[in-house]
Structure 1
Amino acid sequence: MRRVLAAAVLTAATTGCVSTAKPATDVIPETDKIVWGPCTDVARPDGEPPAEQDATVRCGKLSVPLNYAEPAGEKIELALIKLAATDQKKRIGSLLFNFGGPGASGVDTLDQAGKSLGTLRTRYDLISFDPRGVERSSGVRCGGTADLDRFTSLDTLPANARTRGEIEAANRRFAELCGRDSGKILPYVGTVNAARDMDRIRAALGDEKLNYVGMSYGTQLGAVYATQFPENVGRMVLDAPLDPTVTFEERTLAQTKGFQRAYESFLKDCVKDKCEVGEDVAAAGANVEKLMNQLAARPLKVFRRELTQGLAATGVAAALYSELTWPFLESALGQALKGNGAALLYLADTYTGRGEDGSYTTQTTSFPAVTCVDTAERPDEATLRRTETASLKISPLFGGAGSGALCDVWPVKGSDEARKVNATGSAPILVVGGKNDPATPYEWAPRLTAQLKTATLVSYEGEGHGAYLSGSKCVAELVDGYLLKGDVPERGASCPAA
C-alpha cells in the first residue's frame, strides 16, 4: 500500500457506488476472451529491448462491465500481460499478480519483475493486469502535467494555517479536474469491482481456480476476492498485508509511525560508516530537518523545475520502502545539503509517477479514486485536525491528515463492502507480514490473518515493504513451496532478516 502524502487530498464531480449484486449470479459471455498479441507500450526504464521482441511475453485485452449491476451495458477493457511458463510440460496453470497501489500498473511491473520470479515462472504462466482505473484500463486522469506538478509539489511545512489552507484549496481544484476528466469511471473503480474483474480474468484464462499473489494493496484485493469467490480460490499469497477494517485515523498514525521508524533505522545505518548526511544520528537528523525548513522557504532549482519541501519529503519516503535504496537516499540527501536537489527530485518522481518528459502515470490519481470508493467513512474537520496533530507529533517529516482529508471532499459515494472480509470456505491462504514494514505495519498482518478464516501467517524480521522480493531466502522458500507444491507453513513460522 502506498503512503498517503499529506498533500494528496482530492475530489471529483459525479455520484455513484459500488455494485453489491451477488457475484455468483454472473454469467461470463463466451465472447469475452483475452486476445493476446505483442506488447507494444510496456514501460521499460531499464533500457532493455521492448517486450514484444520476446515471444514468451504477450499482452492482451479483456472486456468487462463498467457497472456490474448492468452486465449487458457499457464495457471497459482491462489490459493484461502474460509471461509464459518456461517448462510447459510441468505447467501448473496461471498465477495472477497485483503488486500494490492502488494505482500501480501490473503490466509494467510484471514485465520489469519477471527475472526475479524465475522460480515461479518455471511452472506458472505469470499474469498481471492494470486494474480498472489504472493506466491502460480506463486510467483515472486529473488534469495535465502543470496541474499535477502543482499538486505534487505542495509543501507540508510549516504546519500552520496558511499551509493547510493552500493544501485544501489545491485538493478542491484537483478534485474538480478528476471529475472533469474521469467522472464516468470514478464510481466503479473500487476493490469490489476489481475482484469481480479478477474472476473474469480467471475464467478467460481457462483456470478452474485462481492462483494469486497480492502485495500491499493487492492483499486487500485478494482478501475481497476470497470473500466473494471462496470456492474459486486456489493458492493465494498476501504479502505486506493491509487491515481493511482500520479507520483513516488509525491508518495515518500507523503509517506515520512506520515511516518514522524506517527513517530512524536508515539514519542509524547511515552513520555506521562516513554518512553523507551527518556524523551521528542526532546531527544527521538535524541536517535533514534544516534542509526541509530551507526548502519550505526557498526551493532548490533543478533545471527547469524546483525541489520543494513537499517533493523532498516524498523522495525520502519513496526510498524507505526498501533497504536496497538506502545508499541512494544517503547520496541524494548529501547532494541536496550541498545545493543539488536532482537526485532527491528523481526519487520523488518515482513515487508520483512523473516521467522525464513531464507525463504522469496514474499512480497519483488512481490511488485516491480507489481509496475513497472503498469506504463510506468521511471524517469530519475535528477528526482530521486531531489526526494531523497526532501524526505531526510522531513525525514532522511524514505527518499530516492523511487520505481522510482527501476522501472528506471526494464527491463519489463510497461503500464499506471492501472492508468486510472473511474468506470462509476458501482453500488455505498464506499471509506474510514484515516486522519493520513502513507502509503496512506488522500489526495489520495478524489482524488480517484472523479475519480470513483460512489463513496462516508467516512473519519476517527484516526491513522494507514486502517480504517475498526482499532477498530473504527463508521467505522465498516458504512462499515457493506453498505456490509450487501446496505446502502450507506451520503456524507461527517466521524468517530472520535477509
Structure 2
Amino acid sequence: MGHPTSQGGRHRALTVGAALLSGVMLLSACSGGGGSEQRGEDEEGRPSEKSTPAARAYPGVPDAISQQRLSWDPCEAPTVAQGGGEAPGELDDGTPWQCATLTVPLDYEEPDGETIGIALIRAASTAEGDARQGSLIYNFGGPGGSGVLTLPMLGEQYEALREGYDLVSFDPRGVGESAGVRCLDGEEIDRQEQEHGALPRTEEQEEAYAEMSAEYVAACEANAGEILPHLTTTNTARDMDLMRHVLGDSRLHYFGISYGTELGGVYANLFPEQVGRAVLDAVVDPTADSVDGALLQARGFQLALENYMADCAEVYGEECPTGEGGEEGSALLADLLAEVAEEPLETGGERQLTEQLAVLGIVATLYDQEAWEYLTVGLMEALEGDGELLLLFADAYNERDEEGRYSNQRDAQAAITCADTTGQRDPEAIEENRAAFEDASPVFGPYLLWSLAGCEGWPTDGEAEKPEVSADGASEMLLIGTTGDPATPYEGAERMQRELGEGVGVLITFDGEGHGAYGQDECIDDSVEDYLLSGMVPQNGLVCG
C-alpha cells in the first residue's frame, strides 16, 4: 500500500474519465530547436516501418547499447500491468501506432552489467523531409503511469504536433512493461483495502496499519528487490537521453505533465545542453520536501473541492449534497467519511466502500471539471448509503479492472518515490504534522497525512530530499500553471521557474480548473503549438482562460 496518493497525472485523469463514461450509463439507469541525425526513413522522409538505424557511440555505455537498432512493430493490446484495454490500431489518417523496446543499463555506474528493456510507442509525423523536427517524447505523470497506454488515448488531442514531430512515449523503468514492479496481486490488494480501509484512529488501529505496510514492503522486496535501488527519476532521465540518442535526435524535445515536469527538470539539470523544446504542464514544486509536498496537495485538493461545492450550490441549489459549500460542505463530507470509517457502504457487490476508497473516489473526480456532475450524483448516493459510484471512481483511479486486476502504477509509484526521496520514512512525522494537515483540509488532510511514513522500512535508501532541477545553459522551457489545479498547485510552477535558473523557464498561466491545461484552452494550445512547431516563445507571464 505504501503511498496513499501521488502527484497525479494525465493518465490517471484519463482512466477516471473512462470510468465516468461508464458512470453515465449507471446514472441513466438510476436516474529552442535541435535537429535530427540518423533516423531510418522511407522515400518520403518519414520513419521506416520496421527499424531505426544504429546510432553513433554514446559516452559511458557499450556499443551494443548505444548503437542498437529499434525494431518498430504494430502494437499489441496493453498488458494488465500497463492498464489493459484494446490494441491502439491506427490514427484517423491511417498512421499506425508502433511499439519497440529500448535496451538500457539497469545501473549506469555498471553499464556493462545487467540490462532492462524500456517499452516505447510512437506515431510518425505527418511532415516530410526537413519539415520533420524529430521526436517529441512524453511523460504523462504519476510516477507510475504507462506512456504506452496513455499516448494513444490522447492521439487526437496531440494531432497538431505531428506536423513537426514523431509522437513518442514510454513506460519508465519500474512501470508497466519496463521491468515493472509488482508487489501484491489484485486479491491481496483488495484484502488489504477491505481490512484496513479506515484511517487509523486508535493505537490498536495504528499497529494494524503498520503491520499491513510492513507486509506490503516485504512483498515489494521479495518480488522486485534487485531493481528497487535503480528506479530513480535520475536514472529515468538518463534513459530518456539514451532514447534521444538512439532515436537520432541531437536534442530532446519533451512534453511532461505532472510528475513528468519533475522528470523534465531533472533531465535539464543532468543534460542542459541537450534540452531542445520542452513543455512542462501541471508543474510539480521541486522545492517541497515530503511534508511540504503533501501539504500543498492537501490545500490544492481542498481548493478544487471548494470550487466544486460553490458550482454545485449554484447549479443544484438545495439539492446539492454539500449544501452551500465552504466550511459547511467540508464539515459535511468529513462527517460522511467518519461514518464510512465506522461502517463501510454497500456497493451491490462483494466489496464495500471504505473510508480510503471514498476519499479516492472524490479525489478522482476533481482532476477535471467535466467530472463534477458525476461527483454530485456519487455523493448523493453515498449520503443515502450507496457507495457503488464512488467505488467505481476509486477503482478507475487505482486502475483496477472488472476482473479485480490492477495495473502496476501503485507499486511503481511507491518504488519510484522511495528510491527518489530520503523523506516519508518517519512515523513520528504523522503526529507532529497532524494539526497542520487537518487545518489544510478536513477532507483530504487526514488521508494525505499518512503519506509521511509511506517509505518506512523500504529496503533501499532514497537518493535526495528534493529533486535537483537547476539547468543553467538550457534552452528556454515552457512552463504552464493552472490556478485551480488540485494535484500540482499553481505555486509549484512559479518555484520551478525560479529553480531552473534565470532565463530558462518561461511561465504562462491557465486561469481555470483541472490538472493540466493543454487541450482545455485555445490560448494555451496556440502558445504550446507555436512554441513546439515554430520556436515562438510566448511572453513570460501570459494569462489564458
TM-score of the aligned structures, taking structure 1 as reference length: 0.90
Deviations 1:177-200 (A, max 9, x none): 111111111111110100000011
Deviations 1:150-203 (A, max 9, x none): 344543446443443332221111111111111111111110100000011111
Deviation at 1:49, TM superposition (A): 6.5
2:284 counterpart SS class: coil
Q: Which residue of 1 aligns with 2:340?
A: 295
Q: Partners of 1:225 and 1:140 in 2: how far apart?
A: 23
Deviation at 1:35, TM superposition (A): 1.4
Q: Partners of 2:422 and 2:392 in 1: how far apart?
A: 35
- 1:387 is aligned with what amino acid? N
- 1:451 is aligned with what amino acid? E
Which structure 2 residues correspond to residues 220-259 of structure 1 after superposition, within 5 A?
A: 220-259=262-301
**Distance 1:133-1:49 versus aligned 2 partners, 3 A rule:** closer
Deviation at 1:146, TM superposition (A): 2.0
Tell me, yes or no, if structure 1 residue 394 matches structure 2 residue 457: no
- 2:109 is aligned with what amino acid? A
**Distance 1:82-1:340 versus aligned 2 partners, 3 A rule:** same
Q: Which residue of 2 aligns with 1:188?
A: 230
1:171 counterpart SS class: helix
Deviation at 1:365, TM superposition (A): 0.8
Within the candidate set 61, 66, 71, 1:35 is matched to 71
Q: Which moved more, 1:146-155 or 1:326-335?
A: 146-155
Deviation at 1:486, TM superposition (A): 0.8
Deviation at 1:46, TM superposition (A): 12
Q: Partners of 1:96 and 1:152 in 2: how far apart?
A: 35
**Distance 1:47-1:481 versus aligned 2 partners, 3 A rule:** same
2:158 counterpart SS class: helix
Q: Partners of 1:211 and 1:252 in 2: how far apart?
A: 30
Tell me, yes or no, if structure 1 residue 174 matches structure 2 residue 223: no
- 2:197 is aligned with what amino acid? D
Deviation at 1:330, TM superposition (A): 1.1
Q: Which residue of 2 aligns with 1:75?
A: 115
Q: Which residue of 1 aligns with 2:14?
A: none
- 2:176 is aligned with what amino acid? E
Deviation at 1:43, TM superposition (A): 6.7
Deviations 1:230-277 (A, max 9, x none): 111110011111122311111111111111111111111111122452
**Distance 1:48-1:378 versus aligned 2 partners, 3 A rule:** closer
- 2:187 is aligned with what amino acid? A
Which structure 2 residues correspond to residues 96-245 of structure 1 after superposition, within 5 A?
A: 96-153=137-194, 154-157=196-199, 159-245=201-287
Q: Which residue of 2 aligns with 1:440?
A: 488
- 1:468 is aligned with what amino acid? Y
Which structure 2 residues correspond to residues 461-480 of structure 1 after superposition, within 5 A?
A: 461-469=511-519, 471-480=520-529
- 1:335 is aligned with what amino acid? E
Q: Partners of 2:222 and 2:350 in 1: how far apart?
A: 28
CA contact (8 A) 1:62 1:78 kept: yes
Q: Which residue of 2 aligns with 1:365?
A: 411
Deviation at 1:31, TM superposition (A): 4.4
Deviation at 1:293, TM superposition (A): 2.5
CA contact (8 A) 2:214 2:457 kept: yes
1:115 counterpart SS class: coil
Deviation at 1:288, TM superposition (A): 3.0
1:199 counterpart SS class: helix
Deviation at 1:418, TM superposition (A): 6.5
Deviations 1:381-407 (A, max 9, x none): 433322233212322321242433012
**Distance 1:377-1:338 versus aligned 2 partners, 3 A rule:** closer
CA contact (8 A) 1:252 1:387 kept: no
Tell me, yes or no, if structure 1 residue 5 matches structure 2 residue 49: no
**Distance 1:431-1:172 versus aligned 2 partners, 3 A rule:** same
Q: Partners of 2:171 and 2:83 in 1: how far apart?
A: 20
Within the candidate set 385, 401, 404, 1:339 is matched to 385
Q: Partners of 2:335 and 2:426 in 1: how far apart?
A: 33
Q: Which residue of 1 aligns with 2:530?
A: 481
Deviation at 1:107, TM superposition (A): 0.6
**Distance 1:135-1:48 versus aligned 2 partners, 3 A rule:** closer
CA contact (8 A) 2:182 2:408 kept: yes
**Distance 1:46-1:76 versus aligned 2 partners, 3 A rule:** closer
**Distance 1:191-1:161 versus aligned 2 partners, 3 A rule:** same
- 1:209 is aligned with what amino acid? R
| Number of aligned residue pairs | 479
Deviation at 1:349, TM superposition (A): 0.8
Q: Partners of 2:289 and 2:201 in 1: how far apart?
A: 23
CA contact (8 A) 1:380 1:408 kept: yes
CA contact (8 A) 1:192 1:418 kept: no
CA contact (8 A) 2:476 2:506 kept: yes
1:392 counterpart SS class: helix
1:77 counterpart SS class: strand
CA contact (8 A) 2:83 2:149 kept: no
**Distance 1:6-1:422 versus aligned 2 partners, 3 A rule:** closer
Q: Partners of 1:376 and 1:49 in 2: how far apart?
A: 39
2:181 counterpart SS class: coil
Q: Partners of 2:450 and 2:387 in 1: how far apart?
A: 26
Q: Partners of 2:312 and 2:409 in 1: how far apart?
A: 30
- 1:391 is aligned with what amino acid? F
Q: Which moved more, 1:452-461 or 1:271-280?
A: 271-280
What's the % identity of the aligned pairs? 39
Q: Which residue of 2 aligns with 1:17?
A: none
- 1:410 is aligned with what amino acid? W
Q: Partners of 1:171 and 1:181 in 2: how far apart?
A: 15
**Distance 1:362-1:47 versus aligned 2 partners, 3 A rule:** closer
1:224 counterpart SS class: helix
- 1:62 is aligned with what amino acid? L
Q: Which residue of 2 aligns with 1:12?
A: none
Deviation at 1:328, TM superposition (A): 1.3
CA RMSD of aligned residues (A): 2.6
Deviation at 1:464, TM superposition (A): 1.3
Q: Which residue of 1 aligns with 2:12?
A: none
Within the candidate set 120, 125, 143, 1:85 is matched to 125
Q: Partners of 2:77 and 2:155 in 1: how far apart?
A: 17
CA contact (8 A) 2:6 2:413 kept: no
2:445 counterpart SS class: coil
Deviations 1:418-450 (A, max 9, x none): 612211111111111112211111111111111
**Distance 1:162-1:213 versus aligned 2 partners, 3 A rule:** same
Q: Which residue of 2 aligns with 1:420?
A: 468
